[in-house]
Amino acid sequence: MSARVLVGVKRVIDYAVKIRVKPDRTGVVTDGVKHSMNPFCEIAVEEAVKLKEKKLVKEVVAVSCGPQQVQETIRTALAMGADRGIHVEVSGKDYETLGPLQVSKILAALAKKEQADLIILGKQAIDDDCNQTGQMTAALLDWPQGTFASEVNIEADKLKVVREIDGGLETIKINLPAVVTADLRLNTPRYATLPNIMKAKKKKIANVKPADLGVDVSSRLEVLKVDEPPQRQAGVKVETVHDLVGKLKEAGRI
């Protein structure tokens, strides 16, 4: 099979970090905070590499959009087994307002340019929780989509995808080329080993600008403010059931 897989990877604040809102309430603190690859993107990379190990695809290309630092994220994907990377340079204000619509336009343009047969993305990013990029990319390319995938199999020239849905599991068969978004149970991503990290340093990362792909990254959304969730108030102890009922009535709960 001569298939080429495009995997999108996003650099986000590490899941273990305690998020703090900036004092000016325009966003969250990112300076000096640990960043890593979005966990669902890790699962996407792992799936692509597994497909390559099963010899069902020939090449895995990792893509990330952002400033210089996203190269670290691409290197992690290379250390996990991707063959080469593409860094789409977006920085400054453009990067702060970069969202699913612009990214999906970029991915669609890259898919055509690289003649990709399959795009695998994480189902959503843990910073914005949008869950839109995969679906938008498929729509722009007019490709079928298998989202929330917990199992992916290539059968002949079709893709069998088991999707996690509210009611349970749904199995669909879609034509290639297609877009798949990875859900939590699709696989367990491998840790990048030190020897593989060393090897990854030699793999190529190409630099591309959105303008080269004919994509306008200006945003139609404006973030007005960012607030922390309200502080949890301490509870109140009451002495009797009578008092409890009284307090509940006061609060309008009963």
DSSP per-residue string spanning 178-237: EEEEE-GGG--PPPPPHHHHHHHTTS-EEEE-GGGGT-----S-------PPPPPPPP--
List CB contacts of 82: < 8 A, sequence separation 6 or more: 7, 45, 48, 49, 60, 61, 62, 74, 203
Q: Compute the least distance from the CB of residue 141 to other proteins, in Å.
A: 31
Q: Does 9 bind other proteins (CB under 8 A)?
A: no
Question: Torsions phi, psi of 61, nearest 5?
Answer: -115, 125
Q: What distance in Å separates the CA atoms of residue 45 and residue 99, rounded to the nearest whole number?
A: 21
Q: Does 43 bind other proteins (CB under 8 A)?
A: no
Using the minimum distance from each CB to other proteins, give the nearer residue, 195 or 214: 195
**Binding segment toward other proteins, per CB under 8 A, in 24-32, 34-42, 113-121, 126-134:** 34-42
Are β-strands 145-155 and 158-165 bridged in parallel, bridged antiparallel, or unpaired? antiparallel
- Interface positions, 136-155, toward other proteins (CB under 8 A): none
Q: Compute the least distance from the CB of residue 191 to other proteins, in Å.
A: 5
Provide the CB-side half-sphere exposure for 238 (13 A, CA): 9
Site string for other proteins, 61-100 (x = CB under 8 A): -----------x---x--x---------------------
Q: Does 33 bind other proteins (CB under 8 A)?
A: no
- Interface positions, 104-133, toward other proteins (CB under 8 A): none
Q: Does 186 bind other proteins (CB under 8 A)?
A: no
Q: Does 243 bind other proteins (CB under 8 A)?
A: no
Q: Which of 36, 131, 150, 153 binds other proteins (CB under 8 A)?
A: 36
Q: Which of 179, 180, 192, 215 binds other proteins (CB under 8 A)?
A: 192
Burial of 18: CB neighbours in 10 Å, binned 0-12, 13-18, 19+: exposed
Q: Which of 16, 156, 241, 254 binds other proteins (CB under 8 A)?
A: 16
In this structure, are residues 163 and 147 in contact, taking their beta carbons and an 8 Å threshold?
Answer: yes
Q: Compute the least distance from the CB of residue 178 to other proteins, in Å.
A: 24
Positions touching other proteins (CB under 8 A) are 14, 16, 34, 36-37, 72, 76, 79, 188, 190-197
